[in-house]
Structure 1
Amino acid sequence: MGFLRRHDEQAGTRYQMREKLFAIGDDYWIETQNGERAFKVDGKALRVRDTFILETPSGEEVFKVQQKKLRIRDTMEIEHDGDTVATIKKALITPLRDR
């Protein structure tokens, strides 16, 4: 799948997110550069943690992204078919950290 690409790669597909201004939850479409709907993001509202479901235009779930609350560092887990395929942790900012 061509979701993750290096910034210096010239080839590939560019995507654009379109989000509604007023909506319950965070539902929006990810479109190709030609305006074709590629993925729907179904954001679940009113939960203890933020959850986003990335779906194909036909409604098939591709990935689930969940933000874990009540942690020292912000953490998000990306799931595919019920398995965690990636964990993202926000870096702690300290004045002694190398840049």
Structure 2
Amino acid sequence: MIKNNHIDNIGGMEFATFRLKEGVTETTLVELSHKVEQEFLRRQDELVLHFLVRGKDGMYADVALATSQEKAEAYCQQWLSHPVALEYLELIDETSVDMTFWTRIN
């Protein structure tokens, strides 16, 4: 999802790696990610870009680029109270999550 075509507006990032729970498919993850974008993320004015990537050995990363690190952290906290976002989080093996926040420096 791209809300703003200006890369210069990116000031912070949330980067979370994870594995899916046993029995959850990538198709289900992608479908629910689209639903989260439609019902939750598109309403966040300072969210610039959100996407999923797949790595090796069943690892995934959820990436959110925002106007600041503080905004990225605030949006992350909102996931915990949004019904569709909570559905998405239910797909994830919570013991595998590594979430970090970053500030753009150039």
TM-score of the aligned structures, taking structure 1 as reference length = 0.28
Q: Which has the higher helix share?
A: 2
Between 1 and 2, higher relative CO (CA 8 Å, sep ≥ 6) is seen in 2
What is the TM-score of this pair, normalised by structure 2? 0.26
Higher strand share goes to which structure? 1
